[in-house]
Chain A
């Protein structure tokens, strides 16, 4: 009963369009004040303990690292390397675009920025080479979402923080699904290109390939710093994030020289702005899950799920549907912070691996980025291509279906996500 009131209250507040963090906080205050005897002062205590975890601090560091490398020059280097690698295949520029999106998204950590950076450079070139505009928009708009899955991923850190799962394991679990998804998108694109006889690029000579690899390597090495550093135990996840921020600064200013020292304060400010927003949602989500726990809602849901006799697969399908629906209205970090504390105890009850659940939720978030009405990737893709939002959505539709098929694979075959972390840890 109290659960129904809480979620009704939250839904009402959210529908007014007020910030999600504020809706969460106000729900807690209103409920505590109106329906319980819990002193509102206990909220004050929670406000302090909410973000006092060192693990959470990985988020601002990763955002900072990503922002240092979110630059047209880096995008260009990734595109050059990707097209040198796969450009000679049928639909070469499109295939290169997918690969470049994967690489750039991993390094920059932002889906919309990936679509803008890769799309602005690649879409005009694709059009000039004779690709239909919709094809290019569909490919790039969808591939921009890859970054959420390929480590370092901020969405994964948020999942880890709200469920106490290991950040290192999650990152490593994301590698194989990430590569698989890139290959899957490329295969589908290649088949479409073959059928329509889309153009190719001349095969890059070996020296060109080598040079483009050397150029992009500095940026890509960031992924190795993070994964290698955490896996080998040299750094904790948060330290790895801080090291990657320093590394990204060094590469952007002294190696690539995309950025001068004068630009650094602006990047710091933009990163602080973004981080503070996410940390503010986290603080209020901690308050919210404190309320849920004190009303024993997770326990209630867990016993309900056992009574339902839903089973593992039934539960995961339900999770998928819930997250896909939520993905239509909210951005990834808010969805994860609200749903993870509820879904996690149920999943544990059913014996689902926490890492598997994390990867599954992350893939769901990816799809949320490219489905209307609030798929951020669609907005930016429509912005750079000057195609209407409906046209952009239609253009992305075939690849969205591919992503859904991929989601089903991830849901039913835990091995895709769990094999590598089981091998390594």
Chain B
């Protein structure tokens, strides 16, 4: 179950960043390609409306950002100012680490709840009521996005979902830290393919070894 959640999270953020790139690329290519007078093709391209690309890209990145932030808790990429606590004794330091992590859990829980209330009021309540036929008072349909004309609450749902997931990740990291004393850490400045290049050892021309 947890492994499934991990994979879903990773798959979601990687797909969103990749797809957003392709969409913006396609929109730019489309804008210029449509200007070329190729019979048939031009009419087809002019018939396509790509004005939604920018909006969709923004919303994809909001989803990517919220779920990526939760994934980032798990990878330990959210760094803070740790110069001071690192000078403390291990036991005191551990207390501060837990305070920091619980601060993260508290903040994301509050934001998730505020976000959910907002999303609920801005259209989800209406959508739920109409879908299931509830007779709630004061039902108003929420706004739709300007280009795609989708209900905005669907996009904004990323905030409560992402924040609650992030809260869960903070608690998970805290639990692991208390149990094992280990915190996730991102390796700074990781570069692929260095070992292959180092194995080649062809940087200095043959014969140039010592000073000359």
Q: Mark A357-395, 1 if CB is under 8 A from B, else 0.
A: 000000000000000011010011000000000000000
**B-side contacts of A14, CB under 8 Å:** 80-81
**B-side contacts of A29, CB under 8 Å:** 107, 110
Q: How far is the CB of B184 from chain A (nearest CB, A)?
A: 11
A interface SS class: helix
The reply to whether B13 and A269 contact each other, CB–CB distance below 8 Å, is yes
Q: How far is the CB of A284 from chain B (nearest CB, A)?
A: 9
Interface-located stretch among A46-54, A161-169, A409-417: A46-54
Q: How far is the CB of A275 from chain B (nearest CB, A)?
A: 7
B149 near A: Cβ within 8 Å?
A: no
The reply to whether A331 and B196 contact each other, CB–CB distance below 8 Å, is no
The reply to whether A18 and B80 contact each other, CB–CB distance below 8 Å, is yes
Q: Mark B65-105, 1 if CB is under 8 A from A, else 0.
A: 11111011001011111111110000000001101110110
A81 near B: Cβ within 8 Å?
A: no
C-alpha spacing A42/B80, complex, angstroms = 26
The reply to whether A277 and B103 contact each other, CB–CB distance below 8 Å, is no
B128 near A: Cβ within 8 Å?
A: no
Given contacts A19-B78, A25-B111, contact A129 B85 (CB under 8 A): no
The reply to whether A64 and B17 contact each other, CB–CB distance below 8 Å, is yes
The reply to whether B103 and A112 contact each other, CB–CB distance below 8 Å, is no
Q: Mark A212-243, 1 if CB is under 8 A from B, else 0.
A: 00000000000000000000001100110011
The reply to whether B85 and A16 contact each other, CB–CB distance below 8 Å, is yes
C-alpha spacing A274/B190, complex, angstroms = 13
**Footprint of A on B, CB under 8 Å?**
10, 13-18, 20-22, 24-25, 27-28, 32, 54, 57-58, 61-62, 64-69, 71-72, 75, 77-86, 96-97, 99-101, 103-104, 106-108, 110-111, 114-115, 117-118, 156, 159, 186, 188-198, 200, 203-205, 208-212
**Footprint of B on A, CB under 8 Å?**
13-23, 25-26, 29, 40-41, 43-45, 47-48, 51-54, 56-57, 60-61, 64, 70-73, 75-76, 79, 83, 110-117, 120-122, 124-125, 128-130, 197-202, 234-235, 238-239, 242-243, 245-246, 258-259, 263-265, 268-269, 271-277, 279-280, 283, 329-331, 373-374, 376, 379-380
